[in-house]
Structure 1
């Protein structure tokens, strides 16, 4: 929680005010600062594209298309923190869904809390390490190219052209003038951190939310498995059967009510997640379709320069898609198990009123607990496979297009 809190505070996404915490003036200034950077950064990148279409080779210009798309996608992700539904989601997570609140319910709940905690801690550290290495590899490649071309040692000559990790149109020369280059060099490192953080931090947040929801579902499944059995034996002639006693029937009613409340808590939180992140996940798929195929095209020369500059980014983007999709798939798998366990309840030993409650639980459990992009496309492994296959199809089409031009 310390890691995710720090990461979200940098993006202006930690709901300090809603949690009753003191909100410093720096946080408001920082959010405004991020918004201004987005306004400055994106138009200058788009202007660079406009001026160089038809001037620079398509493959050379392709990286600018990729960085523009990545910046635009990161900007949309930053806007999610301004939505009221996002604040409500975070408050519900911290006050209700976090597994810390379940650890006292049973031994199984305590062990599940520890498992989710360890998994969340490992994943938070892993994503932040990946963030650092991604920024390093992204910005080190143009430094290596500048060293190799002798740009740093011959910067006083007029024939030097500096390489940048992201290209812009600014009112000063940043490709031939060392001072202009130094300004854009520092700016690119900072922008890389902001863009990478806005993408990976929200992926981390969504993954952690899923881990905790998964923990809740596992506790609910365990409660269904260990649902109390009847101890009262009823004998009719030579036939012996079991039945709940009157005292047990009251306990059964209470247990069923707790199951209904717990299941509703999980379902409502998933619905809130869908409403909060649904459009972000839809844009994520659109972004991957566009950028994934472009990155594959940039890697297609299969030489050291292409693989060094685009290979790591391509692997990172597809790896993140696969990783996030597998995590979201946990909800669908758990939902199927939940339905089976509800059907296994000893409803035949209950009275009519409790059987009606079981029937309601069974009907609700048959509805899949899943996150949907824009409330339409279910996020999971199947959607991931479709995106990857479509990206490769677009890559083949772009490859044939560029080949015919050459």
Structure 2
């Protein structure tokens, strides 16, 4: 009895008591992107505004970083080797994605999607409806918790290695011992991200840029991982809802055997059962509408993110393969983890949205398998509307044009490999 009371007290009171939701809120707060004001009426939590960490300030900052990277490329394009040029292109493209993502909170659809996810869609609010719903909630909770932890551990490993290798190369090459004469003759510092400066600098200037890069690499990493993490958490919950809906349809009550029969010798529902069938059909239709409407709203919020992300993967994929083709320790450490993280995120986002689409496709058969032949005309019409609504797969479209799924992912990876072969041939010649 005491043990059950202890477990009762450990039960979370809201979705925001879950570890992975707290983690998401923490990183979105760092980006000034958590909708505190919209959630205030429910959680009574005052907005946490960190100094210079609101999304408007970060947007201006990343515009400046992007322009600095472009100016660096313009002024050094003839001085950089082919592989150094590739590195600079990758960081500029990452800066571009950072600009797009830090500006996402401006969108009303984004803020509304996050609020609806926390207050309505999260399986926490639906686990009490049935024993199976609680089972699915527990399953999604475990998957979400482990996935979120894995993603952020991978992020920190990538940040450390991406910053460590340029520092190691500078120590190894003796760049810190360079004089003004040796700098003029070509000795220069390596950085994880290069910025345009109108003058050459020595150790003190390097230290300043090194510290700035730590902050920028960290910020850029969380813009990538945090939005991807949120989209993944949403998809896990939508997948759970589809599982529950399909289970409800597969366990739809059948007519009692003592009922009347129709001309096809099917046992008909009684009047009392028909009233219950009507209620159940309306509940399941409302459940399906809630899922489809939320995904339509999520498409507006995250469609631009996925569109630019696919474009980024298309361009950066072949460049990263080119950088890795050197097959030395420096290339593997510097670009190996980054490539793994970006590839993992591409596969992860595409695959889980494909899972939702596939799961929603199975609803059509589950709806058709309902005992419609045992219903009266009114309930059959209701069921027909339900069946018609289920014909459209539940998925996300990037900017309303590109389906987010494994086919798009495969096309991107195939094109990246083709461009890599072309660039590799060009570099060798």
The TM-score with structure 1 as length reference comes to 0.94
- Is contact 2:262–2:268 with CA below 8 Å preserved after alignment? no
- Is contact 1:295–1:310 with CA below 8 Å preserved after alignment? yes
Paired residues for 1:343-358 under 5 Å? 343-358=368-383
3-state SS of 1:231 partner: coil
Structure 1 residues 403 and 14: CA distance shift in structure 2, 3 A: same
| Match among 136, 139, 143 for residue 112 of structure 1 | 136
Aligned partners of 1:74, 1:255: CA distance in 2, in Å? 46
Equivalent residue, structure 1, for 2:194:
167
Is residue 127 of structure 2 the alignment partner of residue 103 of structure 1? yes
- Is contact 1:233–1:241 with CA below 8 Å preserved after alignment? no
| Match among 37, 51, 55 for residue 17 of structure 1 | 37
CA offset at residue 170 of structure 1? 2.4
Equivalent residue, structure 2, for 1:382:
407
Aligned partners of 2:159, 2:313: CA distance in 1, in Å? 19
Aligned residues: 401
- Is contact 2:35–2:115 with CA below 8 Å preserved after alignment? yes
Structure 1 residues 53 and 237: CA distance shift in structure 2, 3 A: closer
Structure 1 residues without counterparts, runs of 5 or longer: none
3-state SS of 2:38 partner: coil
Aligned partners of 1:238, 1:127: CA distance in 2, in Å? 59
Structure 1 residues 277 and 19: CA distance shift in structure 2, 3 A: same
Aligned partners of 1:161, 1:325: CA distance in 2, in Å? 41
| Match among 7, 26, 33 for residue 57 of structure 2 | 33
Equivalent residue, structure 1, for 2:68:
44
Structure 1 residues 238 and 348: CA distance shift in structure 2, 3 A: closer
- Is contact 1:233–1:243 with CA below 8 Å preserved after alignment? no
Structure 1 residues 67 and 237: CA distance shift in structure 2, 3 A: closer
Structure 1 residues 49 and 129: CA distance shift in structure 2, 3 A: same
- Is contact 1:151–1:161 with CA below 8 Å preserved after alignment? yes
Is residue 299 of structure 2 the alignment partner of residue 274 of structure 1? yes
Equivalent residue, structure 2, for 1:141:
165
Equivalent residue, structure 1, for 2:367:
342
Aligned partners of 1:319, 1:195: CA distance in 2, in Å? 17
Aligned partners of 1:234, 1:267: CA distance in 2, in Å? 36
Structure 1 residues 115 and 25: CA distance shift in structure 2, 3 A: closer
CA offset at residue 306 of structure 1? 2.5
Deviations 1:339-358 (A, max 9, x none): 11111101100000100111
Over aligned residues, Cα RMSD in angstroms? Answer: 1.9
Aligned partners of 1:237, 1:29: CA distance in 2, in Å? 68
The TM-score with structure 2 as length reference comes to 0.89
| Match among 56, 61, 70 for residue 85 of structure 2 | 61
Structure 1 residues 63 and 246: CA distance shift in structure 2, 3 A: same
| Match among 92, 96, 121 for residue 72 of structure 1 | 96
Is residue 22 of structure 2 the alignment partner of residue 2 of structure 1? yes
Structure 2 residues without counterparts, runs of 5 or longer: 1-20
Aligned partners of 2:363, 2:235: CA distance in 1, in Å? 16
